[in-house]
Amino acid sequence: YPPRRGIRGFVPPIRSNGGNTGNVTSRANATKGEDALDDSTKRCMDALCGPDGELPEKLRNLEPRLIEHISNEIMDGKPNVHWDDIAGLHHAKKCVTEMVIWPLLRPDIFEGCRSPGRGLLLFGPPGTGKTMIGKAIAGECNATFFYISASSLTSKWIGEGEKLVRALFGVASCRQPAVIFVDEIDSLLSQRKSDGEHESSRRLKTQFLIEMEGFDSGSEQILLIEARAWIVRNLLNKDGLFKLSTEDIDTICKLTDGYSGSDMKNLVKDASMGPLREALTQGTEITKLKKEDMRPVSLQDFENALQEVRPSVSLDELGTYEIWNNQFGSLS
């Protein structure tokens, strides 16, 4: 990024093949490099400059296009998930509150013996609320949320993952407090170093471990379990569609053993189509249909939906998580 003040050794970024591959050194007075950045990249860089108008040290040797990608695609300034949106997971929420939220809100209290771990491992089957917890932490602490899928680092950013990781942690350090959510981290860190391992993926792993230094010492494991009744009630309540009795909800819960939070969301979605489908098969045209004429969602709608929406995680797979949790996890 073009320096505004004279910095020795500044190398203006050079555009090649439409992309900017130049390094960021500092903002200052050179004008040549400024033309090489397009407006949106410039805006991202400006937003990261300190009150002195300088780009923070950590970002100066990073490629602008990577910083722009982090700012636009990976960073979520205001994640819209609240603690109360998350069903169940009481133990996980309690651990996260004590380990992450309180220390972020009151760093002065969490010093010495109480100093918090810097990393947290949430594990469990897909669709059980891990990402939601990450977003809610950011929301509760007014922190910036960064989401990156570890598998995209090796698939999409072939050979560049290491640089992107550096850019990610660099931008996050300028946006503190920050929550970095690394999805599918097992895909990255569990790979054993072997002769056949690609050099770039070895460097990527090393970079990750360097950036996460300190994270491993305080990591905790949390078991996520979902509360199905709450999800059904909460989702339908939001839309004012909820007219199910407690017995109906109990029946739905019994029928959905092994469904994850995201499976439940899909189930509710499908069931809530029931009244609409019925009204339309009775001859009402969609353009003339009045919302208030549709009946509430019934148990039968759920039973029909259960034929369509199957659990995405097998009971066998769930067993594996339980065994892992008993051995290494945080017991509730």
Candidate list 30, 48, 132, 167; residue touching ligand ADP; CB under 6 A? 132
CB–CB of 1/24 below 8 Å? yes
Candidate list 26, 262, 272, 325; residue touching ligand ADP; CB under 6 A? 262
Instruction: Mark 111-130 with x for binding to ligand ADP (rule: CB under 6 A) and - for no binding.
Output: ---------------xxxxx
d(CA 296, CA 292): 9
Residue placing its CB nearer to ligand ADP in the complex, 37 or 223:
223
Please give the C-alpha separations between residue 8 and each of 5, 25, 26, 29, 63, in angstroms, as whole numbers: 10, 10, 10, 12, 18
Candidate list 97, 102, 265, 278; residue touching ligand ADP; CB under 6 A? 265
Please give the C-alpha separations between residue 168 and each of 38, 99, 120, 158, 294, in angstroms, as whole numbers: 21, 23, 18, 16, 48
272 binds ligand ADP (CB under 6 A): no
Nearest approach, Cβ of residue 222 and ligand ADP (Å): 11
Query: Of 215-244, which residues contact ligand ADP (CB under 6 A)?
Result: 226, 231
Closest residue to ligand ADP: CB criterion: 261
Q: Count other C-beta atoms under 10 Å from residue 48's C-beta.
A: 20
d(CA 55, CA 45): 8
71 binds ligand ADP (CB under 6 A): no
25 binds ligand ADP (CB under 6 A): no
The H or E element spanning position 140 is helix 130-140
Beta bridge partners of 222: 122
Span near ligand ADP by CB under 6 A; candidates 67-75, 109-117, 237-245, 259-267: 259-267
89 binds ligand ADP (CB under 6 A): yes
CB–CB of 135/170 below 8 Å? no
Residue placing its CB nearer to ligand ADP in the complex, 168 or 224:
224
**Binding residues for ligand ADP, per CB under 6 A?**
86-89, 126-132, 226, 231, 261-262, 265
